Structures are given as structure tokens and as C-alpha cells.
Amino acid sequence: MAETRIVRIRESVLRENRVQASILRKRLAASGVVMVNLMSSPGSGKTSIILHTIAALRERFRIAVIEADIDSTVDADKMIAAGVPAVQIETGGFCHVDAAMAQAAIQELPLNTLDVLFLENVGNLICTAQHDTGAHVNVAILSVPEGDDKPLKYPVMFQAADVVIVNKTDYMAIAEFDINAVRQRIAVLNQAVTILPVSCRSGEGIADWIEWLTARITSVAGNR
């Protein structure tokens, strides 16, 4: 009997994407630009974190933002209103940004006038973590109302992250959320990751995030 042949398209697509992402990462570094990719479920606080970060770092770094959503320019409009260049990727149904999409968006930006490029990925805790975008820094945001079990259910996101922001800590008092359990669950998946509790509402922890990010941007920029 003839043997069934399996065509592993998914693996080859992901491999091809990793190659493209690696080329893009080097190209950005050569241009002196550090790309920071923010990933989370819808509504966890990606846009809020970026807006706080722009306010804190705009005097020090020249910043632009790539926004990605299935539809709409809502978040890109907020960035432009904040006074930074922004482009919107409308993914047309795709639930993540890949290196080719990031590359296409970057072509719309004045790369040689930038130091830091934020990429707000599509709100999704699964596919985004599986696709290398070419970013130098990968940020996962978990918000308190989502629950402390997310590292158990979506491990790839927490493996892919350099830093996990636990946002909306102002909900901690009313939500059943065990931050120590989150720390232990993430530690099993990724021992190199930094975990930063933050509230975009109260401002708690924002200074720690800015300090961590500034050190990482400086380190990436210094290693190019």
C-alpha cells in the first residue's frame, strides 16, 4: 500500500518567517532602530502601555509606532494624536503580525529618523507568540482580570517574552489573582523573563517598566 505523504506547510512557513525576521532584525539594528513588540489578549493594555512609554521616553528617543488590527485605525489614531508617527497594519483577518507585514509597515516610516519602533501586535495570546516579527524585544502583557491561570493555558506566549507586564494591578483587590502563582507558573516556562506588575490607571510600576525598557534599548543599540 502506498505510504501517505504529509506536507508540513505550517513548519516551513514558520521557518521561512524566522529567516525573514532575522534579516529584518539585523537591518533595523544597522539603521540604529530597536523594535519592541507588544503582545497580549484584546484589551489587556497594549495601547495604554505604549502611550505611557511615549510620554516617559519621547525626550530621550525618537519614537514611532506600528499598530496592527484585523480592522480599524483606532489605535494608530491615538498614537498620531500623541504626536508620534504611526502606521496601521490591517491584517484582513490574520490574528498576528509576521515579518513580512512588519517589513511592509516599516517601509512607510522614516526609519533613519527613529531610535525606537513599537509594534502593537493584534490582540491574541496564541498566534502572535508563534510568529517572529523581527523585533529585538518581546513584551507580553497579562492583565489581572484575565486570571492567573493564563501561563498554564497559553505557555508559548510566556516562553516567547523577554518581559511580562502584569497590568491592571488596581483590580488586584477585587479579582482573585495570585501574583506569586503567576511568577511560579512563568518561571517553569522561562527563567530569563522579568515580571513587572503595573497599573496604567494608578501609574504603579510604570517607572520600573521604563527603567527596564531603557536598559534593554540601550543594550540592543550598543550591541549592533
Ligand X SMILES: Nc1nc2c(ncn2[C@@H]2O[C@H](COP(=O)(O)OP(=O)(O)OP(=O)(O)O)[C@@H](O)[C@H]2O)c(=O)[nH]1
- Answer yes or no whether residue 150 interacts with ligand X by CB under 6 A: no
- Answer yes or no whether residue 42 interacts with ligand X by CB under 6 A: yes
User: Within its chain, how far is the Cα of 194 from the centroid?
Assistant: 14
Binding mask 153-192 vs ligand X (x if CB under 6 A, - otherwise)?
Answer: --------------xx-xx---------------------
Q: Which is nearer to ligand X, 46 or 150 (CB)?
A: 46
CB of 79 to Mg ion, least distance (A): 10
Is residue 96 classed as helix, strand or coil in its secondary structure?
A: coil
Q: Which is nearer to Mg ion, 119 or 220 (CB)?
A: 119
- Of 47, 57, 176, 177, the residue nearest 119 (C-alpha): 47
CB of 191 to ligand X, least distance (A): 26
- Answer yes or no whether residue 43 interacts with ligand X by CB under 6 A: yes
Alpha helices (H) along the chain: 9-30, 46-57, 74-81, 99-106, 127-130, 150-153, 155-160, 179-189, 206-222
Which residue of the chain is nearest ligand X when measured via CB? 123
CB 116 within 8 A of CB 217: yes
Give the Cα separation of 50 and 39 in Å (integer): 12
Q: Which is nearer to ligand X, 68 or 99 (CB)?
A: 68
Give the Cα separation of 152 and 155 in Å (integer): 6
Binding site for ligand X (CB under 6 A): 40, 42-48, 75, 123, 167-168, 170-171, 199-201
